[in-house]
Structure 1
Amino acid sequence: MMPFNTLLLLTDEQDAHALGCAGHPFIKTPHLDALAARGTRFTQALTPSPICVPARAALATGRWVHDIAYWDNAMGYDGRIPGWGHALQTAGHCVESMGKLHYVNATAPTGFTKQHDPLHLADGIGQVWGSVRNPLPSTPRPSRLFTELGAGESSYNRYDISSAEHAAQWLQAKAAEKDAAPWTLFVGFVAPHFPLVVPQRFLDAIDIDAIAEPRLHPLSGYQRHPWVQRHADFSNADDELGTPERRRLALACYYALTCFMDEQIGKVLQALGQTGLQASTRVIMSSDHGDNQGARGMWNKSTLYREATHIPLILAGPGIPKGKVCATQVNLVDIAPTVLDNANLPADPTLPGRSLVAIANETDDPERIGFSEYHAVGSPSAAYLLRQGQWAYHHYVGYEPELFDIAADPGQSVNLAAHEGYRSIREHMASLLHQMLDPGATDQRAKADQDALVARFGGREAALGKGPMGASPVPSR
């Protein structure tokens, strides 16, 4: 069988529900809806870590964060552990990228034949201040999430427009090549990542007055889990918003940015179809993690709840069931064996993932385990998410766990972990986690690596001043 090309489209901070085909009441994504209609949409997809850099390193290597030790946003992927890109290059395939990668820098051997206008860690070091976790600083830190908010055009908007246009041009040029080698193109978009600034016409399409207040807000009496509260005490973005009107505006901008992003992806998919490459190309679309969107008074990512860990994942192309909705637990680590499968190359048998092509062509597997972990900025200790069937189990080192019945309580509003009637479920989920790793030892290993990084930058006080205060800047042209 001839190998298929792969077009990998990755957004940033997109919740799985932020799709028109997922039934969102405000977001319109006609291009992604059409992609899902000609392929398979995975409704139970998880990020390996609800923060950018570790999630992207796991995607690049196909391995869990605790196996590769890219713990936080100051530890960018550098090719130290080979990934699917290296395997494709060794086989003579063309492997290129367009747009955001968020690796350590553009010169590290991360598996690409060529990177076009890549966005990487700021100054190659990223958020060094976020590595100060042992212990977590007691002084609150401004989030700076909402210093820009509302209608306009940000550098990120312009960057995404440019990435889409360049990707379309790349596909047109590739179609004109004679005897072209099999190729994989990674296209990274920034939207709907903050700053929550979006062109006016997209914001005008959102009925801000119809947006409900974020659920489970502490101002309404909700009590955060102590681990989550410690995170909020470190950096409370919700307090910086301040009013219900600004919370609704923030949500409207997030929704509008997702619509903006869909339009950019549409340009790339249109070029794929017009060039005739669609017949020989499998498309994978996903996001690095989700966004809390004000639930529990939390914004951005960095929690284990559905909003931050649950991501969109669509696979379309030759040999993929059309119009299928698959409820098997999947993860970004499944992308590595999928890309290799597309190229007719064997995957390393030690990889934890499986080809999404195979999963899409099987009946749903309710027993498959979903997993995510967090060891990064704002966290006092490691946090682990385990999903199986209807259950979501949150394990926090040094804190009591959480347990949710996702079938009965999809909003995760009732923690069942302390209820005696659910003891066997809680113990079963904890046992599954311990089969994967030692939670406490992994926490200690992450903090030891972070302590060493902090020491290299001159100690705690010096490290707290190193790295971007907000989002990573776009590359200078």
Structure 2
Amino acid sequence: MKEFSAKKPNVVFIITDDHRGEAIGAFGREAVQTPVLDALAAGGTACRNTHIIGGLTGALCAPSRACVQTGIPIFRATVGKDMVTRENLNVIRPDVRIMPQAMQEAGYRTHAVGKWHNDKASFTRGFQGGDKLLFGGMSDHTQVPVYDYDPTGAYPKEQEYVEHTFSTELFTNAAINFIAGYGQDEPFFLYVAYTAPHDPRTAPEPYASMYDRASLPLPPNFAPEHAFDNGELMIRDEKLAGWPREESEIRIHMGDYYAMISHMDAQIGRIVEVLKAKGIYDDTLIVYTADHGLAVGQHGLMGKQNLYEHSVHIPLIFHGPGVPKGKQEEALASNIDIFPTVAGLCAVDLPEETEGRSLCPLFAGEREGARRIVGSAYRDIQRMVTDGRWKLIRYYRSPITNAGTERIQLFDLLNDPWETHDLSADPAHAGDIERLATELAAWMQATGDMLQEQPVLPVAPRV
């Protein structure tokens, strides 16, 4: 049997759906209880300034997960590039080696549990096993359409069946079964993809009653409606609450959202416990992240189809061998950096086509090479760039739907982290706008953004 280095850690890679970056108790911004994630952050490194690249479709799960799996900006990560038909935007390029594929080639046993919102061909080339596999975006949490692992990669519809165990518990049970029964010599790469806290937000008791909806504090950026047409005000997510947004209804949604997160946190705790019981906790790298965030009433929005921090800022926690303990890393990062960082911590060679940057040098205290800016995109109607303090959002009117508004916003994230004061009309900030507009244009060109030929407004329009 092939021998593997004892220094290679096992990996439990956890990715969730709709969990925004600040909705973790240890980070102190929201009234959510997450003792397990708090402990992982305290015993590891929390990358507090990680953003998604974005996507060209309202179902942001698929493009974000494609970026995580490939370490490549969405404009080059998938087969589809047409924003008119929006076809194949979830299909990962077949010539790209994805994260589990690289791990497998390095001697890891790869196993998946839960949601895979990209194409089945990419899943099949990445994973050698799996259980309770959901090929799609969402489901009722007590009626989950799943497949058993199919080594042929076909997954015909007649092999799908419905599980009635709550999704988060269903996927956790499958992950625990894999860990408890694992007895092979090579290290494992276990990919656990939850559908929580995505709606329908129907957490089981006692979590459903954990939060008093009447007393939850509203965020400072709560608004009855969005200030202008951002091009995507009528998508499904935005219809989950009435217009104008009522404070009482938003508090109900917030409580339901937090309940889903707290329930999921407890289930992750079960995975931690089985790692400890098996005696491999200290030898296992645990990665926690999400595909994107969610508004839930902030800025008058409900969904993730926007470029405010609540939607593009994601949690990212590393815990285990090679990871500093108790570190909160504030350097800018992108979700395409996750794969290179996992590879670096596991001594796995990266595919040449990977464009993300490993965060391992930052973990070691090396600041050279840290990102100066990060950018994000949403369809053909929104683009964003930030240097960590100043943030520019550029809005377009869609030539496809004719929705949207030609304008910009400028925020000072240091003094206005909730993005409540748009400074774009202030002449004192003309230089900041011009500088960020130049950075945005360069980012769009570098990532292969198809809107790169359109001009970026150099000054704030008066609206």
Pick the TM interval, shorter chain.
0.7 to 0.9
How many Å separate the matches in 1 of 2:174 and 2:114? Answer: 9
Give me the TM-score of the superposition, normalised by structure 2: 0.80
Asked if 2 retains the 8 angstrom alpha-carbon contact of 1:9 and 1:285, the reply is: yes
Query: Could you say which residue in structure 1 is the equivalent of 2:260?
Result: 257
Paired residue for 2:89, among 59, 62, 75?
Answer: 75
Instruction: Please give the residue correspondences for 1:418-429 in structure 2 after superposition, counting only pairs within 5 Å.
Output: 418-429=425-436
How many Å separate the matches in 1 of 2:297 and 2:323? Answer: 36
Asked if 1 retains the 8 angstrom alpha-carbon contact of 2:114 and 2:131, the reply is: yes
Q: Does 1:370 align with 2:374?
A: yes
How many Å separate the matches in 2 of 1:59 and 1:98? Answer: 16
Q: Does 1:404 align with 2:407?
A: no
Instruction: Please give the residue correspondences for 1:291-306 in structure 2 after superposition, counting only pairs within 5 Å.
Output: 291-306=294-309
Instruction: Please give the residue correspondences for 1:79-118 in structure 2 after superposition, counting only pairs within 5 Å.
Output: 80=94, 81-105=96-120, 109-118=124-133
**Structure 2 unmatched runs, 5+:** 145-163, 398-405, 454-463
How many Å separate the matches in 2 of 1:205 and 1:30? Answer: 14
Secondary structure at the aligned position of 2:89 is classed as: coil
Query: Could you say which residue in structure 1 is the equivalent of 2:350?
Result: 347
**1:20-41: per-residue Cα shift (whole Å, max 9, x none)?**
1111453111111111111011
Q: Does 1:394 align with 2:412?
A: no
Farther-moved stretch of structure 1 (394-403 vs 347-356): 347-356
Farther-moved stretch of structure 1 (322-331 vs 111-120): 111-120
Asked if 1 retains the 8 angstrom alpha-carbon contact of 2:53 and 2:377, the reply is: yes
Asked if 2 retains the 8 angstrom alpha-carbon contact of 1:216 and 1:296, the reply is: yes
Identify if the C-alpha distance between structure 1 residues 217 and 326 changes in structure 2 by more than 3 Å, giving closer, same or farther: closer
Identify if the C-alpha distance between structure 1 residues 431 and 351 changes in structure 2 by more than 3 Å, giving closer, same or farther: farther
Query: Could you say which residue in structure 2 is the equivalent of 1:42?
Result: 47
Secondary structure at the aligned position of 1:196 is classed as: coil
Residue 243 of structure 1: how far off its partner (Å): 4.3
How many Å separate the matches in 2 of 1:240 and 1:234? Answer: 13
Secondary structure at the aligned position of 2:428 is classed as: helix
Identify if the C-alpha distance between structure 1 residues 217 and 87 changes in structure 2 by more than 3 Å, giving closer, same or farther: closer
How many Å separate the matches in 1 of 2:283 and 2:412? Answer: 41
Identify if the C-alpha distance between structure 1 residues 422 and 73 changes in structure 2 by more than 3 Å, giving closer, same or farther: farther
Give me the TM-score of the superposition, normalised by structure 1: 0.78
Identify if the C-alpha distance between structure 1 residues 162 and 362 changes in structure 2 by more than 3 Å, giving closer, same or farther: same
Asked if 2 retains the 8 angstrom alpha-carbon contact of 1:217 and 1:296, the reply is: yes
Residue 428 of structure 1: how far off its partner (Å): 1.4
Asked if 2 retains the 8 angstrom alpha-carbon contact of 1:337 and 1:355, the reply is: yes
How many Å separate the matches in 2 of 1:304 and 1:168? Answer: 36
Asked if 1 retains the 8 angstrom alpha-carbon contact of 2:54 and 2:377, the reply is: yes
**1:103-148: per-residue Cα shift (whole Å, max 9, x none)?**
22378544112232211237xxx9xxxxxxxxxxxxxxxxxx9xx9
Asked if 1 retains the 8 angstrom alpha-carbon contact of 2:361 and 2:367, the reply is: no
How many Å separate the matches in 2 of 1:292 and 1:439? Answer: 29
Q: AA paired with 1:291?
A: L
Secondary structure at the aligned position of 1:297 is classed as: coil
Query: Could you say which residue in structure 1 is the equivalent of 2:159?
Result: none
How many Å separate the matches in 1 of 2:262 and 2:87? Answer: 27
How many Å separate the matches in 1 of 2:448 and 2:282? Answer: 48
Identify if the C-alpha distance between structure 1 residues 73 and 98 changes in structure 2 by more than 3 Å, giving closer, same or farther: farther
Q: AA paired with 1:103?
A: N
Paired residue for 1:430, among 424, 429, 437?
Answer: 437
Query: Could you say which residue in structure 2 is the equivalent of 1:12?
Result: 17
Instruction: Please give the residue correspondences for 1:284-323 in structure 2 after superposition, counting only pairs within 5 Å.
Output: 284-323=287-326
How many Å separate the matches in 2 of 1:84 and 1:303? Answer: 27
Q: AA paired with 2:97?
A: P
Secondary structure at the aligned position of 1:248 is classed as: helix
Asked if 2 retains the 8 angstrom alpha-carbon contact of 1:42 and 1:312, the reply is: yes
How many Å separate the matches in 2 of 1:431 and 1:382? Answer: 18
Identify if the C-alpha distance between structure 1 residues 91 and 6 changes in structure 2 by more than 3 Å, giving closer, same or farther: same
Q: Does 1:163 align with 2:171?
A: yes
Query: Could you say which residue in structure 2 is the equivalent of 1:135?
Result: none
Identify if the C-alpha distance between structure 1 residues 320 and 100 changes in structure 2 by more than 3 Å, giving closer, same or farther: same
How many Å separate the matches in 2 of 1:419 and 1:6? Answer: 49
Paired residue for 2:201, among 193, 196, 203?
Answer: 196
Secondary structure at the aligned position of 1:210 is classed as: coil
Asked if 2 retains the 8 angstrom alpha-carbon contact of 1:42 and 1:326, the reply is: yes
Asked if 1 retains the 8 angstrom alpha-carbon contact of 2:385 and 2:393, the reply is: yes
Identify if the C-alpha distance between structure 1 residues 154 and 287 changes in structure 2 by more than 3 Å, giving closer, same or farther: same
Q: Does 1:173 align with 2:181?
A: yes
Asked if 2 retains the 8 angstrom alpha-carbon contact of 1:7 and 1:283, the reply is: yes
**Structure 1 unmatched runs, 5+:** 127-144, 376-380, 447-477
Secondary structure at the aligned position of 2:331 is classed as: coil
How many Å separate the matches in 1 of 2:223 and 2:170? Answer: 40
How many Å separate the matches in 2 of 1:113 and 1:79? Answer: 19
Farther-moved stretch of structure 1 (420-429 vs 338-347): 338-347
Q: AA paired with 2:232?
A: H
**Per residue, is there more helix in 1 or in 2?**
1
Asked if 2 retains the 8 angstrom alpha-carbon contact of 1:382 and 1:439, the reply is: no
How many Å separate the matches in 1 of 2:66 and 2:442? Answer: 23
Query: Could you say which residue in structure 2 is the equivalent of 1:454?
Result: none
Taking only the aligned residue pairs, the percentage that are identical comes to 25
Asked if 2 retains the 8 angstrom alpha-carbon contact of 1:40 and 1:321, the reply is: yes
Residue 89 of structure 1: how far off its partner (Å): 2.5
Greater RCO structure (CA 8 Å; 6+ sep): 1
Give the number of aligned pairs.
408
How many Å separate the matches in 1 of 2:367 and 2:447? Answer: 33
How many Å separate the matches in 2 of 1:391 and 1:264? Answer: 37
Residue 224 of structure 1: how far off its partner (Å): 1.8
**1:43-90: per-residue Cα shift (whole Å, max 9, x none)?**
111122272100000011001111224566963234523222222233
**1:252-297: per-residue Cα shift (whole Å, max 9, x none)?**
0001100011011111111112212222221111111000011122
Give the root-mean-square deviation of aligned CA atoms. Answer: 2.9
Identify if the C-alpha distance between structure 1 residues 116 and 36 changes in structure 2 by more than 3 Å, giving closer, same or farther: same
Q: AA paired with 2:91?
A: Y
Q: AA paired with 1:9?
A: I
How many Å separate the matches in 2 of 1:106 and 1:321? Answer: 36
How many Å separate the matches in 2 of 1:74 and 1:413? Answer: 36
Q: AA paired with 1:371?
A: G
Q: Does 1:210 align with 2:231?
A: no
Identify if the C-alpha distance between structure 1 residues 402 and 171 changes in structure 2 by more than 3 Å, giving closer, same or farther: same
Asked if 1 retains the 8 angstrom alpha-carbon contact of 2:49 and 2:330, the reply is: yes
Secondary structure at the aligned position of 2:254 is classed as: helix
Residue 306 of structure 1: how far off its partner (Å): 0.8
Asked if 1 retains the 8 angstrom alpha-carbon contact of 2:24 and 2:30, the reply is: no
**1:207-262: per-residue Cα shift (whole Å, max 9, x none)?**
2111234654554xx65243x2x311455423269644322111100011000110
Query: Could you say which residue in structure 2 is the equivalent of 1:55?
Result: 64
